Amino acid sequence: MAGQVADALLSECPRWLAVVEGVGYCQTSHQDKGCEYPSAAGQDTSLTTWWGENLQGVLANPVRLGRGGLGASGVPRHLDAENKIVYGVQVHAPSTGHQDYFNDRHFPANLPHVWDQIWGHVAANAHAPRAVMVVDWGATTEGDDLLWQQAMVTYLSHAPVAGSFYGALNPDAKSTGGLLTSWEGPIVDQQRVDLLSALPAAAVPTTVMLRIKPPPPPQMSPPPRRNLHSPSPAPPSPPPPRLLPFDWQPSPPTRTEPSASDGGLSGMVADDPAGAALLALMLLLISSYIYRTCRAQGPPGATPRPTLPLPVAPRGMPLPRRPCGSAQAKQGVASRLTEDEEEQTEPLHPTKAKPRPKPRR
């Protein structure tokens, strides 16, 4: 069945790889020891295996493509199609489940021998080597799991395997944990990174960039009047978006205190105290004049109060002299004094004249 699927795949996509996992799933949680139901011919039943790990029957029964160089759909296959088949295995740590060899007194030194017998011998066979890849492995970083991972790194560094896939990346992987401890940042588990640094790895981009929204274009002044028949100029293009590193964070907004030069009454008082005092005096005089005028006129609709005449100095008492003035001013004062004297000659309180007595006859 695996050969038929790989045949159809490689006929349409000759550059792809057909990964075929191992067979069998044999644990001893319900039996004393060994594998009670082997899944491959010639299998060592003293060794238990994970699901998809057993490759002990590959050398005797490898995956074969169709004969004649034609795929399942009749399309000619590429000449190196046989080399596009890769055997994949899943290997797990003690925290995932029980295996007999985890209880061996030589653990974890016995692990390389176990892996050679189950799947490593397929890649190391001198007569017909096959490509083998560990498609899933990983564990926690505590206790026996950490010892198991260290043994796996050492084994993969020396065994002729095609590569491996480490799990998992996400921090919420319950059974194994992840390379990341948090998506925000992101935060990397440095202990795992140091552990995997001994393995050969493919170079991948490590810089993550963020595309941020470009700032709005500046406000443009209205264009001058132009001829309607002339073509309109093209609007200015917005600035290109900036690229910032993944760990970029916006700076907090800064608050500036208002200064005296920002304008307003407080700024004027701070910049020109004398001018502010003069302005206050002018406002006081204006408000006093308005108050006196409104008080003399009374409320709206009322008869205005009569204006009393200015007091006149008594006769014989000179008026106060002005400290300065021209001859015309002095003449005006004299004429005004004369008029005042004439008014004073009239009685202030006139009485009714007595009738003259009639002459006697």
Mean of pLDDT values over 160-174: 90
Higher pLDDT, 116 or 221: 116
pTM to 2 decimal places? 0.54
Residue 170 placed within a domain: yes
Residue 52 placed within a domain: yes
Rounded Cα distance, 38 and 58, in Å: 14
pLDDT in tens, 171-201: 988 889 899 999 888 899 999 999 999 998 7
pLDDT at 155 over 90: yes
Residue 324 placed within a domain: no
pLDDT at 111 over 90: yes
pLDDT in tens, 16-40: 889 999 887 776 555 456 777 777 7
pLDDT at 299 over 90: no
Supply the CATH number for residue 152's domain. 3.20.20.80
Residue 77 placed within a domain: yes
| pLDDT at residue number 119 | 93
| pLDDT at residue number 333 | 46
pLDDT at 58 over 60: yes
Nearest Cα residue to 95 out of 49, 141, 52: 141
Residue 45 placed within a domain: yes
Residue 340 placed within a domain: no
Its domain, for residue 101, covers 2-203
Q: How many domains does the chain have?
A: 1
Residue 320 placed within a domain: no
- 144, 147, 151, 156 alpha-carbon torsion, rounded to 10°: 90
Residue 63 placed within a domain: yes
For residue 58, give both structure tokens.
């590959």
Lowest mean pLDDT among 74-88, 204-218, 287-301, 321-335: 321-335
